[in-house]
Structure 1
Amino acid sequence: MDPGGGVVIDPAWVALNNHANGLQIVEETLPGLTRINEQTAQLEPGIAQAWNVSPDGLVYTFFLRGDVAWVRWDASRNQAFPVEDCNGQQRFLRAEDFRYGILRTLKADTRSEAASLLVNLIEGADLYHQGVVEEDYPRIKVLDDLTLEVRFTEPGSHYALLMGLAMVRAQPRWLIEGDDCHNANPQQWTEAAYFQSYGPYLLKEWVTNTRITLIENPYWPGQDNIPKPRISQLEWTAMDGQAALAAYQRGEMDVVSVPPDAVAAVRGDPELSAQAGSAPELCTTYLAFNSQAAVVKDRRVRRALSLALDRPALTAKFLDGLADPAFWFSTPGLVGAPASPEMFPDLGVRFDPQAAQDELAGYLREFALQPEGVDLTLTFPEGETQRKIAEGLAEQWQQVLGVRVKLDEKPLKDFRAAVAGVPAPQMWRGLHCYQYPDANDFIKEEFGIGGAVNPNFTGIQYYNPAFENALSDAARELDGLRRMEAFAAAEHVLVDEDAVVIPLFWHKRTMLTQPYVWRTLSVIGGLEHYEKWGFQ
């Protein structure tokens, strides 16, 4: 994490997948109702020790532990103190604190980008966000001090995960809006001098563009999956990637993220490679087709182009150490995503030149064409790496299929406008990084009807009842394995049968850790749980 000037630690504002902007701080200081295990990607208890779901899948009820205190760090006395209310009574975390956090995120005046994930999911949230109704209208109910009930607009087995995300964390209303003994402080409440929290760590110091320091919360009661910290203090120092790597090599840093242009050197160094570890970044690079555009509206052409790509060879040539070849869309490591190629050996698309040629041959015969007469264009954003990858794709297509694909490189602004335009390009390069670490975010939110890449009248313009039914099955399934199988069925239709999307790369990150540090390595996009770490 880089504690530079762009850091945001307000849960309503923090970018969902941007650790450089403070999500890591929120994770350690303001735990959610639920939590994702950073090593297994399984959903676990957070502040809610249990939850249940109504038979219709619409109502989630969360049961909170009652012994978690709000705490503040007093720099003048170099000590942590419990927060007290206006009557001098210690404040404990309550269901109302979570209800307020959700409502504040939803309120239009807060200007939370993350609100878009909630407005159409929680019953009544849309009208509250529009300012049409008051805060008692959305179906977010405090049943008692330790019980919170949320009613959703449609069934969704991923809602327990969503209710653990940053934008629905508890927030201190008395500090933000003020009460009888606090002045309202909506802009500065996240500064170290004012910040109040309840997690395993407290915010001790924040020197903008220099460092952020967290310190152990002595009042955190601990639990099996969120223990009391073994390391008493964490410090992030602002510096660029190469400077951080050099500091690590001098022994001045305990952990560092390896810059992409240094990964090859680290892997080739016997000492550093022994200290390196890699894990999913939860980003997928892919190609998307406008399924109504000329030529590629024929499924045989799309399948031929996908089957003709040797993904392992492309990965080794252009992104060695930075990615793994992608055989389906949802990155392994996401909750609900097919776990691995070993577990799902028959899922997705593999390099098969003969099958690719057979698919294209049927199209060529029907339209009396030669391969060089197939009119194809790949649109992609400008940049040296993107250009080399596009050239590599075109080279493989020509070698296997004999087709010559034209390359249309555009400045990023123009590229985005083209992809969002009507109609969308024939074929374009896409990149999706998670908003929340669940397969639903990758598959349904991107490619389902009305999704980010499948809006009305543009994008991939795709509809297949089998695909939508598989998404519906996944949305209703609470059993983890059956839910994974439902998403695998959706992937099969999307990337294999219909080939509307060609997955290319699953991106990954590389970290260096000093030998004296014992750690876990997060598979959920780099969001770490430092309270589990220790010194050997």
Structure 2
Amino acid sequence: MALVLAWPLQAAGPAGNVLRIGNGAEPQTLDPHKTETVDGSRIVRDLCEGLTNVSPTGQTVPGAAERWQISPDGLEYIFFLRPQARWSNGDPVVAEDFVAGLRRAADPKTGSSYAQMLEPLLNGPEVVTGKKPPEALGVEAVDDHTLLLRLRGPTPYLLGMLSHTTTFPIHRPSFARHGDQFARPGHMVCNGAYMLDQWVVQSHVRLKRNRYYWNNANTHIDTVVFYSTEDVNSELKAYRAGDLDWATGYPAVLTPWIRQNLKGELKMGPYLGISYFGYNVTRPPFKDNLKLRQALSLAIDRDVIVDKVLYTLSIPAYGWIPPGTEGVVPQTPPEAKWTQAQRLALARKLYAEAGYSQDNPAEVEIRYNTSENNKRMAVVVAAMWKQWLGVKSTLANEEWKVFLNTRKLKKKTEVFRSAWIGDYNDATTFLDIMHSTHGQNDTGWGNPRYDALLAMAAAETDAGRRRAMLEEAERILLSELPYIPLTFYVSKNLVKPWVKQWQDNILDYHYSRDMRIEGY
């Protein structure tokens, strides 16, 4: 850490009309229907645009659609596309582009981890599971600039959901020519404020301004460069040296120093996100072993993690849905109000009832993706388990893409590091991923009642009854505990003073088109 703080500072100032971003892990893909990480989605939102956008303050605003109409029963949405909207090659953006994009995202052949997000559309569940063809999805191009969405039931969060990458259109001629390689440099035709200029693997992704973008007159930054920075120490070094204008990560241990020395550059705010450890409940030691899962969760002192490991950059989590999420009152178990001594007493009791002791300790592997902050969390949790229960833990780290694949296969994982960031402000963005068939559910857990409650809530027109269903679903999740809640996030970014028009919001969405570089 001393080397980071000793890194020489360069003369302050921007590198021209360019926004340079430390973006975390190398993106898996820039395919809007396949990207599933915060880092990759941050790039895709600059390249592509959905029917709606998220404003700098986090509100849902018109995007490629300039306006919409909703039927009295809430089952039909008519979107009117902007006549001036263009793809980056000058082709007009038309309703059929959205039809093609939505059908592709829902098609199980695409392999989108977010396909279930489209289940509110008419025939959505049947299309997502392959029981009906993509053409049966409730989406229709009325004419070039009018798009009709038909729903299975009222969906109060639909407009917010339509800013998610899964709902983005595709440039049909490019897709016909290049297939699944359409999102590569030289192939990708975009409808957002920027276009893909260069992708150097394990180095950077560079975007250039899309002069055909409908709101190009109000876009200020010409070039955006997203640097792959899995090492948060290196990212902070680059930021302090003046090589980055915006750092999305830094070592948590340096938070006190950053607060003192970079106070005006540290941007923090409420954030819809949870950090957790997932249990693989498809294999020992956690299969059919609720008491062991409960014991390990209770033995973790979240206050120590927040205060000493994360330096108050998070909030202790005992539930699943973060505070501030719309549509429910987040549920919490009774132990959330206990002292840590009370939690430890129950943890030891459950650990013994699960068949373990100091003489016969549980042996557990914690697997995480390579990151200094993730390593610190794993080390601290392993130490707590050892101290309070006698658990023998081993740590395993993997590069991001390998790690994601290992999680999905469920062959080696026991406990794995994970996090979830809300895609829109509604409880379903968190509850849906624990559905038994969801592409992001790497725990292998499933509960028929839980799945049924989500289905009923999706069709419920009464807000009170819908809320009760979702709250019951969270209680089921907490009672069966296929995961260990650790902390609820706050957003944290380092932003140089010459980056103007930055605003914090609960989704932590920051489009490059909404910012500008001082002097340009």
Cα drift, residue 414 of structure 1: 11
Cα drift, residue 520 of structure 1: 1.6
Q: Given the superposition, is the C-alpha separation of residues 133 and 528 from structure 1 closer, same or farther in structure 2, using an over 3 Å criterion?
A: same
Cα drift, residue 381 of structure 1: 2.1
Cα drift, residue 286 of structure 1: 3.2
How many pairs are equivalent? 481
Q: Which residue of 2 aligns with 1:143?
A: 142
Q: Which residue of 2 aligns with 1:329?
A: 320
| Structure 1 residues 351-406: Cα deviation after superposition (integer angstroms, max 9, x where no partner) | 424644775798799x799976896554422785355223333156x2xxxx4334
Q: Which residue of 2 aligns with 1:443?
A: 431
Q: Given the superposition, is the C-alpha separation of residues 424 and 410 from structure 1 closer, same or farther in structure 2, using an over 3 Å criterion?
A: closer
Q: Which SS does the other structure have where 1:212 is aligned?
A: strand
Determine if contact 2:286/2:292 at 8 Å carries over to the other structure.
Answer: yes
Q: Gaps (5+ residues) in structure 1?
A: 74-82, 85-90, 178-183, 223-227
Counterpart AA for 2:308: K
RMSD, aligned CA: 5.1
Of 79, 86, 94, the match for 1:63: 79
For residues 246-285 of structure 1, what are the structure 2 equivalents within 5 Å?
A: 246-260=237-251, 263-264=254-255, 266-267=257-258, 270-278=260-268, 280=271, 282-285=273-276
Cα drift, residue 290 of structure 1: 5.0
Q: Which residue of 2 aligns with 1:169?
A: 168
CA distance, structure 2, for counterparts of residue 144 and residue 336 of structure 1: 34
Q: Given the superposition, is the C-alpha separation of residues 50 and 68 from structure 1 closer, same or farther in structure 2, using an over 3 Å criterion?
A: same
Q: Which residue of 2 aligns with 1:529?
A: 511
CA distance, structure 2, for counterparts of residue 487 and residue 158 of structure 1: 14
Cα drift, residue 210 of structure 1: 5.3
Counterpart AA for 2:36: L
Q: Given the superposition, is the C-alpha separation of residues 368 and 104 from structure 1 closer, same or farther in structure 2, using an over 3 Å criterion?
A: closer
Q: Given the superposition, is the C-alpha separation of residues 60 and 214 from structure 1 closer, same or farther in structure 2, using an over 3 Å criterion?
A: farther
Determine if contact 2:295/2:351 at 8 Å carries over to the other structure.
Answer: no
Q: Which SS does the other structure have where 1:113 is aligned?
A: coil
Cα drift, residue 9 of structure 1: 3.5
Q: Is 1:47 the equivalent of 2:46? A: no
Cα drift, residue 306 of structure 1: 4.4
Q: Given the superposition, is the C-alpha separation of residues 217 and 263 from structure 1 closer, same or farther in structure 2, using an over 3 Å criterion?
A: farther
Q: Which residue of 2 aligns with 1:17?
A: 37
User: Normalising by the residue count of structure 2, what TM-score does the alignment of the two structures yield?
Assistant: 0.70
CA distance, structure 2, for counterparts of residue 507 and residue 134 of structure 1: 39
Higher RCO (CA 8 Å, separation ≥ 6 residues): 2
Q: Which residue of 1 aligns with 2:17?
A: none
Counterpart AA for 2:503: T
Q: Which residue of 1 aligns with 2:197?
A: 205
Structure showing greater radius of gyration is 1
Q: Given the superposition, is the C-alpha separation of residues 243 and 116 from structure 1 closer, same or farther in structure 2, using an over 3 Å criterion?
A: same
For residues 378-397 of structure 1, what are the structure 2 equivalents within 5 Å?
A: 378-381=364-367, 384-385=375-376, 387-395=378-386
For residues 302-451 of structure 1, what are the structure 2 equivalents within 5 Å?
A: 306-307=297-298, 309-320=300-311, 323-332=314-323, 336=327, 349-353=336-340, 355-356=342-343, 359=346, 376-381=362-367, 384-385=375-376, 387-395=378-386, 398=388, 403-407=389-393, 409=395, 428-434=415-421, 436-437=423-424, 439-446=427-434, 448-450=435-437
Q: Given the superposition, is the C-alpha separation of residues 176 and 391 from structure 1 closer, same or farther in structure 2, using an over 3 Å criterion?
A: closer
Q: Which residue of 2 aligns with 1:220?
A: 214
Determine if contact 1:518/1:535 at 8 Å carries over to the other structure.
Answer: no
Cα drift, residue 194 of structure 1: 6.4
| Structure 1 residues 128-164: Cα deviation after superposition (integer angstroms, max 9, x where no partner) | 7899987644442223334333445677555544443
| Structure 1 residues 280-325: Cα deviation after superposition (integer angstroms, max 9, x where no partner) | 4834213548599899978777666645543111333333366442
Determine if contact 1:311/1:351 at 8 Å carries over to the other structure.
Answer: no
Q: Which residue of 2 aligns with 1:519?
A: 502
Q: Is 1:234 the equivalent of 2:223? A: yes
User: Normalising by the residue count of structure 1, what TM-score does the alignment of the two structures yield?
Assistant: 0.68
Q: Which SS does the other structure have where 1:510 is aligned?
A: strand
Counterpart AA for 1:273: K
CA distance, structure 1, for counterparts of residue 185 and residue 349 of structure 2: 66
Determine if contact 1:315/1:323 at 8 Å carries over to the other structure.
Answer: yes
Q: Gaps (5+ residues) in structure 2?
A: 1-20
Determine if contact 2:315/2:489 at 8 Å carries over to the other structure.
Answer: yes
